[in-house]
Amino acid sequence: MCRQDRKAALEGERLFIYLCFMGISLRFNRLTMFLGLVILAKANVVIAQEKNQVPFKENRFQESAWQKVKENWAGNQLCAQWDTSQNHYAGPLKLQLNNGNQVVIELSNQGVAKISFWPKNAKQDHLSYAVANALVAETILPEYRDLITDPRSGMQHHANYLFTLINSGQKFWISMCPFRMGLVDGQNNPIVTDDASMPWVEEGHQITHNFQLNDGERFLGLGEKTGPLDRRGNAYTLWNTDCFGYSVDQDPMYVSVPYYVGFNGNIPYGVFVDHSAKSVFNFGAANTRFTSISVMDDHFVYYLLAGNSLFDITQKYTQLTGRNTMPPKWSLGFHQSRWGYQSSTEIEELVFDFRTRNLPLDAVHLDIPYMQDNKVFTFDSVRFKNPKKLVDILQSKGVNTVVILDPGIKVEKGYQPYQTGIKNDLFVKYPDGSFYEAGVWPGNCHFPDFTKQQTRDFWMNEMKFYSQMGVKGYWNDMNEPAAWGKEVPTFIRFYAENHQWDLIKARNIYGFNMAKTTATGATQLLGERPFVLTRAGFAGIQRYSAVWTGDNVASDEHLLLSARLINSMGMSGIGFCGADVGGFSKPATSELYVRWMSLGAFTPFFRAHKTIGMPRSEPWSFGEDNLQIVRYYLQMRYRLMPYLYSSFYQMCSTGMPVNRNLAFLSSNIQNEPQIFNESFQNQFLFGDALLVAPVASTDKLASVYLPKLVNSQRWYHLYTDQLFQPGTEAMVKSPLHALPVFVKGGSILPEFNVTGKNTDVVSDTLVIHLYHTGEEPTVIAEKNFSVNGRLLSSRSTDFVLWEDDGKSVLKQSTDLSLIPSNGIFRKTLLEFHPETRKLNVVSQGGSANYASGYHFVKLVWHGYVNVLEPNISSGKDMRNTMSLKVLQRSNTSFAFSVPMYQTDLMEMSSVMRCYETVIKVEDFFPSKGGTEVQISWK
């Protein structure tokens, strides 16, 4: 409204008051009164237009309707004020809303915006357990004001201020009246936008934030959640829950991660809600208007993450909440567990059976039967009479011991942990100050308050009981917290670093803090990387612990669900995760067990576990034929250890999970709907090179989608080298012994040539498989890009081969890379140029005294018509060249050998010949005098 119009409106209002006064005093006629009413109505409409920025027509029905909406929904009249006198933004941007609330915005030019919504009566004090690296607000100048037009709906949004967040041009925008925010791309097309009239809704003890729901928008994430890969059309509750034998559509579950990635067309964005309080995420369930997030708290803090790919968003999220801690190498091997191993003798016999049957094994888990009367920090004095001797015996056989720890401390006089907890006021309380008490495995228990430093110190001190025996693995269970009856009173109190929370805020971080305390204590006591496993957790749990998907069921539905759960947790930061292979509850058929073991070989955490009272589920429990298949996949897991261990290093360094849904690979989500198809949504990438297609145990044929590739025209069958075209659906054989696994063209795949009894055994030969893209130099566009500061062609692939002692704690160096605290490691960048037939081997740091177990490196070329004798060059200047005299041509068509009795795979056609070259280690890796070795072939 112009200044003159407002002045006229106010003058009209004054005239009406004057006329009314005169009409009353002098008894003017009715005409005078009528004229005054007309003037007042006009003035009110003009003022309403200015206040709400809504061009209403001048009739009493619309004005009345608008007034009713304003009375019911404060969001419609939200406007913000910001002092722009200095015309710049520095530090937190504080916006005062006209309803008394405040919004504080912090921006980073790394593509992150933090938004804090504070109701007028809320104390501005926010406690976060999830955020590991607080956002550093940077000075970002507002650029201009403009109208943003949504190309899908044609709607226009006011954008009074835009702030460029990342180099690609994505911007954070603010509309001051009505107050809304969002992200736009470089062409000012909306990516994510607050709801037009209800961005914030306050209802009692709950605050809801609403985003506009766009046509075709997809949503991925929320960690451990059942349901489809695309969350659209569903709602989920974040409330850690003990759910034994859960259904395939169970919600909520054990772990809560309030983070998701939306795709508006092909452009991703991330939303992380920094609240542990009970919350609900609604992705258009029972409405077509908005995505809503409701949090049971007195304020609302969330982060918007801008990026150009799912990996880009994942990097930002894991930078914010922390990345996985590099686990001990042995924890990547196979773990055997059962609720029912009753004695030291039974455990020793179990390990003996693994070794005599030539089955690799790295860990055995001890469930609650090892304890005295199920009390934590005890061993049964009869059945586990000498626990240190048992741990030593297992260690001598190359097997580590993992003990279960439950949080409940039995109420029992004379029980030392109980006495210490009572004396030092360490347990969760009722509002009246008495300790909360509930029944779990030992009987009536109190529960440590892990939000209190004194409690954390107490727990870490008690862990000496295990560390003195040589225990290196800790399994945190029942930490939702679980109690018989499940309904823990919500009004029990937690210290929460002196914030005094109730269960509504503290439940979701109970398991998180227990695992954090366990990991911190174990690291201090051992002086090396411990293995910690937890059932319950929250965003950021990856900094301390691996996670498993709880008490699942022996069924094909759960087998397929387990892949989806692991993939979802991986993109939500929790990359070291797995499921109870074979199903925890109910008996497994032999086909189900074998199929699940083959799938488990391609998951970050690989453990078989079964409940008490069920038939035995060790690898030999289902007959000799099935044992051969299980042995093959166990050995494949260990053969792939160089690839897997390096993939874990990549995850801990960058946030890229080991198991990835196919959206990580796609550059055009909009044009690749097969990724979200129910038939293909369980498929995943295992590291950079492998694609795995989970199949039910009864299926002998599998329908598989091979995604489109930017830098290759080929997918290879892992076992046969059979070729498949990217972007196609294929029907492939999937007999019980052959889980469908494929290799991406252009990939580097390192492995051992043989496997030993555990991860300590290193093959003397490192095998590096190199897969052709299917394109020759003449058809490749001359495009280059930079990786780690090095210029690569558009068809190049790089792989970082990581080697260390497998146990030293990794810390950030001055250049932000991860290196072991003892400084002993080797980090080698392999740059593969399949179209020019070159492999560069580049040193990225390491120890001169690193003693590698390898003596030879075998290069295996896949997809080449022929390979002539290769040359190897070494040294900084690449001038010292020598010719390799030994070249082995192999007539076999198999990249990975399969058991000889499985003839059906050998009948597959269209396979390529492999070519092999063996090189001495000292010739392959850069020498002390140089930083690079180049291998080329014709």
pLDDT at 766: 94
Note the pLDDT of residue 898.
Answer: 43
The two beta strands, 531-534 and 546-548, are parallel
- Whether pLDDT at 371 is above 70: yes
Q: Are 313 and 305 in contact (CB under 8 A)?
A: yes
What was the pLDDT predicted at 10?
45
Q: Token pair 């060059």 is at which residue?
A: 873
- Binned at pLDDT 50, 70 and 90, residue 938 comes out as confident
Burial state string for 563-580 with b = 16 or more CB within 10 A and e = fewer than 16: bbbbbbbbbbbbbbbbbb
- CA-wise closest residue to 47 among 98, 11, 101: 11
What pLDDT sits at residue 776? Answer: 67
- Residues β-bridged to residue 336: 364, 608
What is residue 289's predicted lDDT score, i.e. its pLDDT?
A: 92
Which pLDDT value is given to residue 302? 98
551 catalytic per annotation: yes
Q: Using alpha carbons only, give the angle 183, 274, 122 rounded to the nearest 5 degrees.
A: 100
pLDDT-derived band at 77, boundaries 50, 70, 90? low
pLDDT band of residue 909 (cuts 50, 70, 90) is very low
For residues 191-217, one letter each, b for 16 or more C-beta atoms within 10 angstroms of the residue's C-beta and e for the rest, the string is: bbbbbbbbbbbbeeebbbbbbbbbeeb
Q: Which one is catalytic: 230, 480, 721, 804? A: 480
Is residue 575 within 8 Å of residue 654, measured between CB atoms? no
Looking at per-residue pLDDT, the higher value among 26 and 175 belongs to 175
CA distance 606 to 582: 11
> Does residue 68 have a pLDDT over 50?
no
How much of the chain is helix, strand and coil, in % rounded to 5? Answer: 25, 30, 45
Mean pLDDT for the stretch of residues 784-813: 72
pLDDT above 90 (res 2): no
Amino acid at 682: N
Mean pLDDT of 150-155: 64
Predicted local distance difference test score (pLDDT) of residue 360: 97
Q: What's the pLDDT at 888?
A: 35
> What's the pLDDT score for residue 88?
57
Would you state the pLDDT for residue 4? 44
pLDDT of 90 higher than 70: no
Residue 782, pLDDT > 50, answer no
pLDDT of 708 higher than 60: yes
Whole-number pLDDT of residue 19: 43
| Listed residue (697, 760, 759, 626) closest to 357, CA to CA | 626
Q: What is the pLDDT, as a whole number, of residue 863?
A: 87
pLDDT exceeds 90 at position 891: no
Contact residues for 498 (Cβ-Cβ < 8 A; gap 6+): none
Q: What is the pLDDT of residue 454?
A: 98
Nearest residue to 518 (alpha-carbon basis) of 573, 468, 457, 577: 457
Percent of the chain whose pLDDT exceeds 90: 68
Using left for φ > 0, alpha for ψ between -120 and 50, and beta otherwise, residue 223 falls in: left
CB 694 within 8 A of CB 599: yes
How does the average pLDDT of the chain come out, rounded?
A: 86
- Among residues 337, 371, 365, the alpha carbon closest in space to that of 465 is found at 371
**Residue closest to 804 by CA, chosen among 847, 752, 843, 858:** 847
Tokens 């696994």 found at: 741
Of the pLDDT bands very low, low, confident and very high (cuts 50, 70, 90), residue 372 is very high
Q: Are 570 and 577 in contact (CB under 8 A)?
A: yes
Q: Is the pLDDT of residue 378 over 80?
A: yes
- pLDDT of res. 169: 86
CA 704 to CA 696: how far, in whole Å? 13
Nearest to residue 440, comparing CAs of 483, 492, 475, 409?
483
User: 260 in helix, strand or coil?
Assistant: strand
Instruction: Mark 794-815 as b/e (b = at least 16 C-beta within 10 Å).
Output: ebbbbbbbbbbebbbbbeeeee
Least confident segment among 155-159, 712-716, 754-758: 155-159
| pLDDT mean over 454-473 | 98
Residue 6 has pLDDT above 60, yes or no: no
Decide if 251 contacts 108 (C-beta within 8 A).
Answer: no
Tens-place pLDDT, residues 569-613: 999 999 999 999 999 999 999 999 999 999 999 999 999 999 999
- Minimum mean pLDDT range among 69-78, 639-648, 666-675: 69-78
**pLDDT attached to residue 783:** 41
How many whole angstroms separate alpha carbon 130 and alpha carbon 257? Answer: 10
Q: Of 558-572, 700-714, 886-900, where does the model show the most confidence?
A: 558-572
Task: Residue 575: name the closest of 648, 641, 682 by CA.
Answer: 648
Q: How confident is the model at residue 510 (pLDDT cuts 50, 70, 90)?
A: very high
Distance CA 519, CA 206 (A): 34
How many Cβ atoms from other residues are within 10 Å of residue 538's Cβ? Answer: 25
Q: What is the largest CA-CA distance in the chain?
A: 120
For the ranges 308-322, 489-503, 835-849, the lowest mean pLDDT is seen at 835-849
Q: Which of 477, 618, 721, 835 is catalytic?
A: 477
Residues in the chain: 938
Label residue 263 exposed, middle or buried (CB < 10 Å: 0-12, 13-18, 19+).
Answer: buried
pLDDT band for 150, please (50, 70, 90 cuts): low
User: What is the Cα gyration radius of the chain?
Assistant: 31
| pLDDT band at residue 146 under the 50/70/90 scheme | low
Residues 6+ apart with CB under 8 A from 531: 327, 328, 330, 331, 363, 400, 402, 472, 473, 474, 546
pLDDT digits (tens, 9 = 90+) for 32-46: 444 444 444 444 433
Are 264 and 170 a contacting pair, CB within 8 Å?
no
pLDDT for residue 83: 63
Distance, first Cα to last Cα, the chain: 75
477 catalytic? Reply is yes
pLDDT tens column, 214-270: 999 999 999 999 999 999 999 999 999 999 999 999 999 999 999 999 999 999 999
If residue 348 lies in a helix (H) or strand (E), which one and from where to where?
helix 344-356
Asked whether the predicted pLDDT for residue 685 surpasses 70, the reply is: yes
Q: Which tokens is 36 given? A: 């005054």
Whose tokens are 């894991």? That residue is 318
The residues, any chain, with a CB within 8 Å of residue 728's CB and separated by 6 or more, are 705, 706
SS3 labels along 912-938: CCEEEEEEEHHHHCCCCCCCEEEEECC
Q: Taking a C-beta distance cutoff of 8 angstroms, is the pair 831, 842 a contact?
A: yes
DSSP state of 325: P
Q: What are the beta bridge partners of residue 98?
A: none
Contact 378, 403 (CB under 8 A): no
For residue 17, is pLDDT > 50?
no
- Does residue 480 have an active-site annotation? yes
Give the DSSP per-residue string, 893-918.
Answer: --SS---TT-HHHHT--S---EEEEE
**Cβ proximity of 190 and 262 under 8 Å:** no
Question: Cβ distance 219 to 231 under 8 Å?
Answer: yes
Q: What is the pLDDT of residue 902?
A: 44
Q: Residue type for 53, please?
A: Q
Share of the chain above pLDDT 70, in %: 82
Instruction: Classify residue 227 by its DSSP letter.
Output: S
158-162, 426-430, 497-501: which range is least confident on average?
Answer: 158-162
Mean pLDDT value across residues 873-898: 39
Catalytic residue among 551, 580, 672, 831: 551
The answer to whether residue 61 scores a pLDDT higher than 90 is: no
| Residue 746 pLDDT level (bands cut at 50, 70, 90) | very high
Q: Which of 720, 772, 774 is nearest to 749 (CA)?
A: 772
Q: What number is the average pLDDT over the span 541-569?
A: 98
- pLDDT score recorded for residue 515: 98
39-49: buried (b, 16+ CB within 10 Å) or exposed (e) per residue? bbbbbebbebb
Query: What pLDDT, on a 0 to 100 scale, did the predictor assign at position 890?
Result: 36
Note the Cα 189 to chain centre separation in Å. 28
Higher pLDDT, 793 or 614: 614
Q: What residues contact 658, with CB distance under 8 A and at least 6 apart?
A: 570, 575, 576, 604, 644, 647, 648, 651, 686, 687
Q: Please tell me the distance from the alpha carbon of residue 28 to that of residue 16, in angstroms, as a whole number.
A: 13
pLDDT value for 197:
84
pLDDT at 51 over 70: no
